[in-house]
């Protein structure tokens, strides 16, 4: 998979399947399943590291987890999120952060949030340096406080026009794709039709060129999180709880380890 392949998928109308990932074991499973893009998202702050938002995630933490993902899925197109304050201050900061991402992890692209002129300036600087960039508009988690929480974006004429304008500006700046998060299906469909680059939706309806979900959410590892847009494709939290309880019970009752798990003396 390459950037050109993704553009061709949009042209043909082939949906693009994207999932987040943060470790080697799940990365292997995603590659075996044929996922088109793995996104090492800064969502790892909440679903892996236990932070209350994406804001505390550092560039070193992103690189650490991305290296693990690349070891597990070396043949899958992988995008790494640039975390909060690793690119917002200046084009130079963005270049240093994205350069480290590509040099140290082997990812094919990075993702950054926002579509204003500053974000577009960062995109232009990275693209000019040969670094593919995925954009992200609508609800942008790194601006959660400014947006007053997880809220659907683009409702109302002015808000919708801003999202359309930001998506077009990111395309003009050189993004090869753009994530649309928490926007109405109607608005996402309009943006998708207006862009020549693929849109990847999360909470943005079926008309986007592709879809992305946070893997632990999709696999039911985070049962307390149940937004409208989420479909669970497994219930791993339930299965894991049963397995752990079974292990504890067997150890307490001395049912484990059994003779079949115990090494005998050599003759």
In this prediction, what percent of the chain has a pLDDT beyond 70? Answer: 99
Average pLDDT over residues 64-74: 98
In this prediction, what percent of the chain has a pLDDT beyond 90? Answer: 93
Average pLDDT over residues 28-40: 98
Q: Can you give the pLDDT at residue 267?
A: 61
232 C-beta neighbours (distance < 10 Å), count: 17
Q: What is the chain's mean pLDDT, rounded?
A: 96
Strands 16-20 and 37-40: parallel
Q: Which CATH number fits domain 3-236: 3.30.420.10, 3.20.20.60, 3.30.930.10, 3.30.70.360?
A: 3.20.20.60
Using only C-alpha atoms, the chain has a radius of gyration, in whole angstroms, of 21
Say what the pTM is.
0.95
Cβ-contact 59, 84 below 8 angstroms: no
The tokens 């050189």 sit on which residue?
Answer: 174
| 216 closest CA partner among 50, 77, 64 | 50
Tokens linked to 155: 């409702």
Q: Can you give the pLDDT at residue 105?
A: 98
- As beta bridge partners, residue 37 has 18, 77
Per-residue pLDDT at 3 exceeds 70: yes
pLDDT one-digit tens code per residue, 19-31: 999 999 999 999 9
Rounded to 5 degrees, what angle do the CA atoms 44, 60, 25 make? Answer: 50
Q: How far, in Å, CA of 179 to CA of 39, rounded?
A: 11
Q: Can you give the pLDDT at residue 149?
A: 73
pLDDT one-digit tens code per residue, 107-143: 999 999 999 999 999 999 999 999 999 999 999 999 9
Query: Cα dist. 13→18, 60, 192, 245, 248 in Å?
Result: 15, 37, 11, 46, 50
DSSP 36: S
Catalytically active residues, by annotation: 181
């Amino acid at each position: 998979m390459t950037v050109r392949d993704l553009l061709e998928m949009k042209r043909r109308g082939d949906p693009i399947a994207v999932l987040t990932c943060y470790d080697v074991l799940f990365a292997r499973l995603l590659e075996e399943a044929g996922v088109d893009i793995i996104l090492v998202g800064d969502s790892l702050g909440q679903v892996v590291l236990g932070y209350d938002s994406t804001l505390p995630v550092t560039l070193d933490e992103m690189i650490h987890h991305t290296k693990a993902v690349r070891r597990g899925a070396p043949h899958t197109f992988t995008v790494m999120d640039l975390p909060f304050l690793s690119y917002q201050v200046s084009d130079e900061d963005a270049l240093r952060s994205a350069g480290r991402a590509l040099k140290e992890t082997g990812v094919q692209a990075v993702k950054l949030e926002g579509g204003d002129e500053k974000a577009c300036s960062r995109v232009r600087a990275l693209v000019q340096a040969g670094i593919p960039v995925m954009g992200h508009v609508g609800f942008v988690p790194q601006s959660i406080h400014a947006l007053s929480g997880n809220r659907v974006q683009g409702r109302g004429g002015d808000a919708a026009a801003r999202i359309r304008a930001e998506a077009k500006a990111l395309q003009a700046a050189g993004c090869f794709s753009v994530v649309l998060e928490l926007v109405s299906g109607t608005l996402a469909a309009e943006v998708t039709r207006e862009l020549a680059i693929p849109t990847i939706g999360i909470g943005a309806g079926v008309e986007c060129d592709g879809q992305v979900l946070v893997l632990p959410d999709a696999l039911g590892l985070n049962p307390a999180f149940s937004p409208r847009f989420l479909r669970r494709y497994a219930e791993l939290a339930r299965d894991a709880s049963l397995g752990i309880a079974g292990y504890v019970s067997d150890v307490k009752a001395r049912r484990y380890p059994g003779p079949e798990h115990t090494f005998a003396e050599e003759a």
